Amino acid sequence: MAKFKVAVSDTRHASYAIEEAILNTIDAEVVYCNCVTDDDIIAQCADADAIFLDLAPFTAKVAAALPKCKVVNRYGVGFENVDIAACTAAGIQVTNVPDYCMEDVSDHALALMMSCLRHVGMRDRKIREGAWNLQGTSFRLKGKTLGVIGAGRIARSLIQKVSGFDLKEVVAFDPYLTAEQLAEFGVRKVEMAELLSTSDFISLHLHVNEETRGIINKEKLDMMKPTAILINVSRGPLVNDADLLDALQNNRILAAGLDTHCCEPLGANSPYCALDNVVLTDHTAYSTAEGVEELKTKSAKNIAAVLTGQAPAYPINQLS
């Protein structure tokens, strides 16, 4: 019998061989569950020493009901589905992998930006239908302004990638960083109104919380240039869908590139699917072979560290 039991709460990956190989070294058995609700986690993970958590909710109710659980690792950067305070009160270490997909998500943001700028998605669809000599104004990349809302790891990776594009400048709204800190990587700190009114590309790089939910709404969209492109590779609820749809339908901004959505899966009946000035992907900005391998490796090492009495590399909460 193994010394530890580690549960995968909701299986989204085709293989967990990486996790198993790492956890085998500490005599931990990996078991697979199919949890959708917090009651599912309580029922299926009751005797687990650790949990790999994907999309299932780890609520206060769960934290109180799993006295054996020592660590919960959230697969990814965000941890909105984990009640951190309840886990801390219950003595459960919460970890994540905040740095695994910087390259991948910033690559994807750039891909969406370029696709919107040159109407790649629309042109591909129309040509497949037999069209040619399509109308529509495209714009030159050189001389444009990129604005990032939130200037963390992924935003900085994107900024580095556009450094050779001969942009006019990169500006950022981030109340948690000083002008001097932003200037260190070639970015000018601005207030939100200036960023919205001057940027040609606006890329969101924020967690969702009460402060940021719906941060892109009618008021903000009305401040943008009619040629502005909005990119969201962070979280769907940062955007008010009704307001963005109205702006796109009435051409008040040029386009949007959306990898994350308020409702997932998006579904073929989504109003976004009827628009030619939006590029849609399926919340897979993080998903590259290299990124997934890094996520799995670092997640398993987080759990192995806690179970063997060591400090994890990526703690979210601090236990006394």
* Domain membership flag for residue 206: yes
Q: Do both 201 and 215 map to the same domain? A: yes
Q: Do both 60 and 148 map to the same domain? A: no
Q: Which of 219, 264, 290, 293 is flagged as catalytic? A: 264
Q: Do both 198 and 167 map to the same domain? A: yes
Q: Do both 228 and 244 map to the same domain? A: yes
Q: Do both 118 and 222 map to the same domain? A: yes
Q: Do both 264 and 136 map to the same domain? A: yes
Catalytic residue at 219?
no
* Domain membership flag for residue 315: no
Contacts for 136-141: CB closer than 8 Å, 24+ residues apart: 139/200, 139/227, 139/254, 141/114, 141/117, 141/165, 141/166, 141/167
Cα 183 from Cα 189, distance rounded (Å): 8
Q: Do both 41 and 139 map to the same domain? A: no
Number of domains into which the chain is organized: 2
Q: How many residues are there in the chain?
A: 320
Catalytic residue at 108?
no
Q: pLDDT tens string for the chain (320 positions)?
A: 889 999 999 998 889 999 999 999 999 999 999 999 999 999 999 999 999 999 999 999 999 999 999 999 999 888 999 999 999 999 999 999 999 999 999 999 999 999 999 999 999 999 999 999 998 789 999 999 999 999 999 999 999 999 999 999 999 999 999 999 999 999 999 999 999 999 999 999 998 999 999 999 999 999 999 999 999 999 999 999 999 999 999 999 999 999 999 999 999 999 999 999 999 999 999 999 999 999 999 999 999 999 999 999 999 999 97
Q: Do both 299 and 184 map to the same domain? A: no
Q: Name the token pair of 126.
A: 């129309």
* Domain membership flag for residue 112: yes
Q: What is the 3-state secondary structure of 185-232? A: CCCEECCHHHHHHHCCEEEECCCCCCCCCCCECHHHHHHCCCCCEEEE
Count the neighbouring beta carbons within 10 Å of the beta carbon of residue 310: 10
* Domain membership flag for residue 17: yes
Q: Do both 179 and 299 map to the same domain? A: no
Range(s) of the domain holding residue 144: 102-280
Cα 51 from Cα 237, distance rounded (Å): 26
* Domain membership flag for residue 314: no
Indicate which CATH number applies to the domain containing 27. 3.40.50.720
* Domain membership flag for residue 198: yes
Q: Which of 119, 205, 235, 261 is flagged as catalytic? A: 235
* Domain membership flag for residue 313: no
Q: Name the token pair of 14.
A: 């085709």
* Domain membership flag for residue 109: yes
Catalytic residue at 119?
no
For residue 197, the one-letter residue type is S
